[in-house]
Structure 1
Amino acid sequence: MTIHGPADGWVESPDGRRFWGRAGAAGLLAVDPDDRVLLQHRAEWSHFGGTWGLPGGARQFDESAVDGALRESGEEAAVPGESLRLLFASELDLGFWSYTTIAARVRTPFTAVVSDAESLELRWVPRSDIDTLPLHPGFATSWPGLSAHLDTDLHLVVDAANVVGSRPDGWWRDRAGAATRLLGDLSAAIDGGLPSALFVDAPASGPGAPTSWWPSTTVVLEGEARQATGPAEGLLVDRADADGDAAVVARVESILTSSEEARVVVVTADRGLAARVERLGADVVGPTRLLDALVRT
């Protein structure tokens, strides 16, 4: 059942086009283990009725794009948010209105159920067949860009000692406390997605291009920093027995040998470590780029 809220309504562009959602809108691009995408056949009475698009709709005021996409897909298609692993977000920002696509992989298969009058049908469509359907114009424009990034298996490996040591905030007086702060900041930032600019010098642009990512993230702690405590939701914390650099290299090697689609980005300013992981096939960014991303999020 659809319950209309204060953010439900049309926004009109300067050229007279109308867009649904006074606070913008968001949709969910869910890909299941059989490489099928969940699509909604839109009711005839709806905007661009009869076309196929993503479950989604208007965001509420003070609601994040992720929360909006998960709420709307739950209301329209009974999508259980806990069954998903978020991949990336792609935001179309027109200034006066925005639409954010949240791309996710289905970890636990589920049955989509038509839950309101906005859908004629819900269908898991093979990716190769999507272009054969009459698509919602917005989805048709963004689909090539979205599809190009769905197979990217992005990993972030953080050399915590190097990152903590890059900011003169007295970390040397309490190494475990400084590491705890880093874990907390990184966990909070990942919850909302990390900006694409963290991972590449020139992020892809255009319809469907990712604007933020939810990478699988490992933080390597060494020495006194291994005593770090506090929440680290969304992070794998590797408390190295001895050499932190060796633990970083081992983690990178493990990821790259286990997934052909894996792309690994290591955060460090240590030239020796950078050279070692680059030889394995990883990319390297400096601590400042990560710290800037944490501030922006």
Structure 2
Amino acid sequence: MTTPPPLHPGRDPGDNWAYAADGTRYWGAFGAAGLLAHDAERGVLLQHRAAWSHHGDTWGIPGGALHRGEGPLDGALREAAEEAQVPAGALLPRATHLLDHDVWTYTTLVADVASPFEPVAADAESLALAWVPVDRVADLPLHPGFGASWPLLQEALREHPVVVVDMANVVGSVPDGWWRDRRGAAERLLGRLARLRTAGVASDRLGLGLDAWFPRIIAVVEGQARGAQPRDGVETVAAPGAGDDEIVAQARSLGAAGARVTVVTSDRGLAARLDGAAAVRGAGWLLEMLDEVAPRQ
């Protein structure tokens, strides 16, 4: 098939072209988004695009036009589900990359496969779907937009940011009466950290490329806060002894496994012990981000 199927009259208004002043057109009246799913064993999920599609007969990622009022992450997951039956629950977001052409944007969601799945070509936009080893992607005839972004995206696949939070230090940096209920104060902070994990962290705050990241967050609790209930997306580690000892052990273990570790603490003694094992940011660094996405109630 070399001509596109007719547009459905009841389609979302986003399923249309956006035009630049010079006449260049881009698919997606409200922008577009796509999913780069990465499986540690099999590589990345690519789509062989139908000949009739924009830049057809090339390889790219499942994606398409955003719907009215739809966020780019939701749009990327919806398009991947529609085109390749990618189950959203099988993925863990890692980062986003934004291509901005002023009148039109394209957001690539980089996500790790947590539960393996087999893609299925669910509509006429795909000639084939395949897991392609990362080092073989550049050998394929790539969609121009994806090809231009691939070097940055490939580099992102090598990065595994982890933020380890000294909960006692961060909680104690704000004199809000936390000493009357240390466990409750820790749980409130865990709730805010969960919202940050969902919202993402700007790349410049982690010293990484792309635009935003969804780092793994590990919260180390100690003392009376050990019983704090965990929150979705945040790992809680109860220190068996001194919290500082557990934070150092976590940083060294994660670093040895290839992670880029950032420890959040304003404790100078702990920071000195972490020299070379992790980047260290003060409590204010974290609290500023939390105030943006999850203000204190």
Which amino acid counterpart does residue 5 of structure 1 have in structure 2? D
Distance 1:16 1:29, change over 3 A: same
Aligned mates of 2:174, 2:31 — CA distance in 1: 37
Confirm or deny that 1:18 pairs with 2:25: yes
TM-superposed deviation, 1:35: 4.4
Aligned mates of 1:95, 1:289 — CA distance in 2: 31
Confirm or deny that 1:268 pairs with 2:265: yes
Confirm or deny that 1:278 pairs with 2:285: no
Which amino acid counterpart does residue 225 of structure 1 have in structure 2? A
Partner of 1:225: 225
TM-score under structure 1 normalisation?
A: 0.88
Confirm or deny that 1:212 pairs with 2:212: yes
Report how many aligned residue pairs link the two structures: 286
Native 8 Å contact 2:36 2:108 kept in 1: yes
Between the two structures, name the one with larger relative contact order (CA 8 Å, sep ≥ 6). 1
TM-superposed deviation, 1:99: 1.2
Partner of 1:113: 120
TM-superposed deviation, 1:227: 4.0
Partner of 2:166: 159
Deviation string 1:112-137 (CA, Å, 9 cap, x unpaired) is 11100111111222222222222111
Partner of 1:287: 283
Native 8 Å contact 1:195 1:293 kept in 2: no
Aligned mates of 2:103, 2:176 — CA distance in 1: 40
Native 8 Å contact 2:197 2:214 kept in 1: yes
Provide the secondary structure at the position in 2 that maps to 1:252: helix
CA RMSD of aligned residues (A): 2.1
Distance 1:167 1:17, change over 3 A: farther
Confirm or deny that 1:36 pairs with 2:43: yes
* Pairing 1:45-84 to 2, within 5 Å after superposition: 45-84=52-91
Aligned mates of 2:84, 2:140 — CA distance in 1: 19
Confirm or deny that 1:193 pairs with 2:190: no
Provide the secondary structure at the position in 1 that maps to 2:269: helix
TM-superposed deviation, 1:284: 0.9
Aligned mates of 2:249, 2:32 — CA distance in 1: 42
Aligned mates of 2:248, 2:124 — CA distance in 1: 53
Confirm or deny that 1:179 pairs with 2:186: yes
TM-superposed deviation, 1:177: 2.6
Aligned mates of 1:60, 1:243 — CA distance in 2: 50
Deviation string 1:5-44 (CA, Å, 9 cap, x unpaired) is 2322211122322122232211111122334221111112
Which amino acid counterpart does residue 266 of structure 2 have in structure 1? A
Partner of 2:243: 244
Aligned mates of 2:34, 2:123 — CA distance in 1: 16
Partner of 1:235: 234
Which 4+ residue blocks in structure 1 deviate beyond 4 angstroms?
none
Native 8 Å contact 2:42 2:131 kept in 1: no
Which amino acid counterpart does residue 212 of structure 1 have in structure 2? A
Partner of 1:207: none
Show structure 1 runs of 5+ residues with no match.
Answer: 205-209
TM-superposed deviation, 1:86: 2.1
Deviation string 1:229-260 (CA, Å, 9 cap, x unpaired) is 4x610111112243111121121122233x1x
Distance 1:16 1:295, change over 3 A: farther
Deviation string 1:242-296 (CA, Å, 9 cap, x unpaired) is 3111121121122233x1x2211101111111111224x2111122221222233
Deviation string 1:202-241 (CA, Å, 9 cap, x unpaired) is x43xxxxx21112221101122333434x61011111224
Which amino acid counterpart does residue 224 of structure 2 have in structure 1? E
Provide the secondary structure at the position in 1 that maps to 2:158: coil
Which amino acid counterpart does residue 107 of structure 1 have in structure 2? A
Provide the secondary structure at the position in 2 that maps to 1:217: strand
Which amino acid counterpart does residue 242 of structure 2 have in structure 1? D
Provide the secondary structure at the position in 2 that maps to 1:158: strand
Aligned mates of 2:171, 2:102 — CA distance in 1: 37
TM-superposed deviation, 1:100: 1.1
Which amino acid counterpart does residue 217 of structure 1 have in structure 2? I
